Amino acid sequence: MNGPDIPKINEGIARKFRKIEADLSLCGSAVELFEMLFVDIQTEFSIPFVWFSLIRLPETTGLRKSLEASPLLRHRLNLIENALFLEVIPDSAHPLLVNGDLRPFFRLLPPNRKYLIRSLAVSPFTLHGRLVGSLNQGDSSLGRYEPDMDTALLMHLAQSVSDSLSRLVPSEDHSVLPAPAER
């Protein structure tokens, strides 16, 4: 690959992220948001392993119940204690890219799923400004995610997820809006 191809590749990647972010604004429920995010990430980027970690907090109880009721998401959800999450992801304000020895990150994996991953992208998201979980993307390729890669697009996506989630889940009681009758 020569130098002039890199800007074209980067623009293609940015276009895919913009498409996913545009889709987020169309979601009418938190469940729809996470289902769409799961499908779009896998489809647009051919990422084999996509799942969510949700921190056990009083304000995530309704969201957790709704996500567990989704046939698409129930096995792609990992519940984790806040202290444990922060132990694994100490700088929870930024996406983290890791490869190689992923043992510390196994705590983010769904309990009933086995993923053969050698590289991982973890993008924390918030609900009304409070850290509540992460979008996790894994690949069996060691080079898919490397610590020195730019995470600006992942950071922007995580902020869009946070904004959309905060729009869909009222702040006063943190209950989850029902999913639309038609999908």
Q: Strands 49-55 and 77-80: what pairing?
A: parallel
Q: How do residues 148-173 score in pLDDT, each as one tens digit?
A: 999 999 999 999 999 999 999 988 54
Q: How do residues 44-101 score in pLDDT, each as one tens digit?
A: 999 999 999 999 999 999 999 999 999 999 999 999 999 999 999 998 889 999 999 9
Q: Which domains does the chain have, with CATH numbers?
A: 5-168 (3.30.450.40)
Q: How do residues 172-183 score in pLDDT, each as one tens digit?
A: 544 444 444 443
Q: How do residues 10-49 score in pLDDT, each as one tens digit?
A: 899 999 999 999 999 999 999 999 999 999 999 999 999 9
In the predicted structure, residue 1 carries a pLDDT above the cut 80: no
Residue 65: phi and psi, rounded to 5, are -60, -40
- Segment 106-125 shows an average pLDDT of 92
Give Cβ neighbours of residue 182 (< 8 Å, ≥ 6 apart): none
CB of 54 within 8 A of CB of 48? no
Of 135, 149, 144, give the one whose Cα is nearest residue 92: 135
Of 65, 68, 57, 59, give the one whose Cα is nearest residue 170: 59
Strand order in the sheet with 130-139: 77-80, 49-55, 130-139, 119-127, 96-99
